[in-house]
């Protein structure tokens, strides 16, 4: 395995920028997830690394080699596709052997590596089957074995779990992650599923409109999103538009005066995580922000209860409270009090145009 450096990659199709100046340095053995809504450039970035798209400018380095202009078959990158892309006319073992055969490995070496790879994904017993005789999860594991059998320098996963059903997806996530750690595989994975990204990544790269918005660990992105897009895409947020009147004072468009942390004076957006808002029947004592509101929508999720609380004629917040044994389940129309300390809100200065579907989907009303 090797270090992968993506250095200022730009990919233009005519006037359209699919990828703008993306730079990433992925350490040996690290799993980096490119996360973003569809059309954000994450797949194009992966295809540039794999060699299926030539960047308009920038360079890709794998280990000591500059691979920017190399064709895909000279890159030594293992690729797993969303559709698995197994060769339908070859058996499982022949599929897994394909990469070794292309490298003219001897028969004995090939046989050994094929059975090693199939053992890794626990499918040795199916080596003589054809792909169409396997379930989706099994096909996915064959695709992984095929991508690993020839000992690639980097593993590229393109939405590898999207075609699996929800339960299987959770299992395979863990399985791939454990395998990746055990073998120390330098891995780039593309997904639009934030839960998948959070489960698997060492580091995440949030992309939108072809550009990198933020790179960091799960905690970095959740606790310190750099902008409104990231705050809306990683986890959920309620956004309240308004302005910072004075340091520490936020005035919402609906006229509410709210305490916030620092921030320079001017138009701004206040982002609130649902689980960082407390909801009670009685007013909260000694909390920076304490507002009466009316419950307008309730979702009983099991471990938690989601509710939409109207706090002014124009603003509603989403709050998520743990579902404690015997605790009251609020009803629509009930009067409640919402509260949060100033530090729980994140202020993004400026008026940011809503871009990408990630933001618009998660906007508060």
Partner 1 sequence: MSRAGIRLGPWALKGSAAITLAYILTPLVFVTWLSFFRQEIPSFPPEGYSLRWFAAIAGNDRFVSGFLLSLQLAVIATGIGLCLGLPAALCLSRIRFRGREALNSLLLLPLVVPGIVLGIALYVFHVEAEIATSLPIVGSLGGLIAGHVLIVIPWTVRLVTASLAGLDRSIEEAAQSLGADRLTTFRRVTLPAIRPGVVAAALFGFVSSFGNLEMSLFLVGPGRTTLPIAIIQYLEWKIDPTIAAVSVLQILLIAAVMLLTDRFVKISRVV
Minimum CB distance to partner 1 smaller for 158 or for 315: 158
As measured in angstroms, the least distance from the Cβ of 343 to partner 1 is: 47
As measured in angstroms, the least distance from the Cβ of 11 to partner 1 is: 17
Minimum CB distance to partner 1 smaller for 79 or for 307: 79
**The length of the chain, given as a count of residues:** 365
User: Strand, coil or helix: what is 200?
Assistant: helix
DSSP label at residue 284: P
Residue 118: phi and psi, rounded to 5, are -70, -30
Minimum CB distance to partner 1 smaller for 143 or for 271: 143
**Alpha-carbon torsion 238, 220, 354, 161, what sign?**
negative
As measured in angstroms, the least distance from the Cβ of 114 to partner 1 is: 13
Minimum CB distance to partner 1 smaller for 103 or for 122: 103
As measured in angstroms, the least distance from the Cβ of 79 to partner 1 is: 4
Minimum CB distance to partner 1 smaller for 156 or for 172: 156
User: Strand, coil or helix: what is 146?
Assistant: helix
The CB-side HSE value for 174 (13 A sphere, CA atoms) comes to 4
As measured in angstroms, the least distance from the Cβ of 129 to partner 1 is: 17
Minimum CB distance to partner 1 smaller for 142 or for 347: 142
As measured in angstroms, the least distance from the Cβ of 83 to partner 1 is: 5
Minimum CB distance to partner 1 smaller for 89 or for 167: 89
Minimum CB distance to partner 1 smaller for 79 or for 206: 79
Closest CA to 95 of 41, 60, 134: 134
State how far the Cα of 1 lies from the Cα of 186, in Å rounded to an integer.
6
Closest CA to 299 of 326, 327, 276, 319: 319
What are the residues binding partner 1 (CB under 8 A)?
A: 50-52, 71-79, 81-83, 85-89, 98-99, 102-103, 143, 146-147, 150, 156
As measured in angstroms, the least distance from the Cβ of 18 to partner 1 is: 17
**Residue owning tokens 């054809």:** 130
Side by side, which strands form the sheet with 65-66?
A: 16-26, 4-13, 57-62, 65-66
Minimum CB distance to partner 1 smaller for 83 or for 323: 83
Residue 139: phi and psi, rounded to 5, are -60, -40
State how far the Cα of 156 lies from the Cα of 80, in Å rounded to an integer.
6
147-174: burial string, b at 16+ Cβ within 10 Å, e else = bbbbebbbbbbbbbbebbeeeebeebbe
Q: Any idea what the Cα angle at residue 165 is, between residues 160 and 168, rounded to 5°?
A: 80
As measured in angstroms, the least distance from the Cβ of 40 to partner 1 is: 20
As measured in angstroms, the least distance from the Cβ of 147 to partner 1 is: 8
Contact 344, 277 (CB under 8 A): yes
């Amino acid at each position: 395995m090797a270090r992968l450096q993506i250095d200022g990659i730009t990919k233009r199709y005519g006037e359209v920028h699919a990828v703008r100046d993306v730079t990433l340095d992925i350490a040996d053995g690290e799993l980096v997830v490119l996360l973003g809504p569809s059309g954000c450039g994450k797949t194009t970035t992966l295809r540039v690394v794999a060699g299926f798209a030539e960047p308009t400018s920038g360079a890709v380095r794998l280990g000591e080699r500059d691979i920017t202009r190399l064709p895909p078959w000279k890159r030594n990158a293992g690729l797993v596709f969303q559709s698995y892309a197994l060769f339908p006319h070859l058996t499982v073992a022949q599929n897994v052997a394909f990469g070794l055969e292309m490298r003219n490995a001897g028969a004995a070496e090939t046989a050994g590596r094929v059975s090693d790879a199939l053992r890794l994904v626990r499918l040795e017993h199916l080596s003589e089957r054809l792909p169409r005789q396997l379930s989706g999860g099994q096909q996915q594991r064959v695709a992984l074995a095929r991508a690993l059998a020839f000992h690639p320098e980097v593993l590229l996963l393109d939405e590898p779990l999207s075609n699996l059903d929800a339960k299987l997806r959770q299992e395979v996530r863990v399985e791939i992650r454990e395998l990746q750690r055990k073998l120390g595989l330098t891995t780039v994975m593309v997904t639009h599923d934030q839960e998948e990204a959070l489960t698997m990544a060492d580091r995440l790269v949030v992309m939108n409109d072809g550009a990198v918005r933020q790179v960091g660990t799960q905690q970095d992105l959740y606790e310190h999103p750099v902008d409104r897009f990231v705050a809306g895409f990683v986890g959920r947020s309620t956004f309240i538009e308004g302005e910072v009147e004075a340091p520490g004072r936020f005035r919402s468009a609906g006229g509410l005066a709210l305490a916030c942390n620092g921030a320079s004076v001017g138009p701004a957006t206040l982002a609130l995580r649902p689980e960082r808002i407390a909801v009670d029947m009685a007013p909260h004592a000694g909390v920076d922000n304490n507002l009466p509101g009316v419950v307008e929508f309730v979702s009983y999720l099991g471990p938690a209860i989601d509710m939409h609380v109207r706090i002014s004629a124009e603003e509603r917040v989403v709050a998520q409270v743990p579902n404690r044994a015997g605790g009251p389940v609020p009803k629509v129309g009930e009067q409640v009090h919402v509260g949060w300390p100033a530090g729980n809100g994140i202020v993004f200065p400026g008026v940011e145009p809503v871009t990408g579907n990630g933001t618009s989907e998660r906007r508060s009303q």
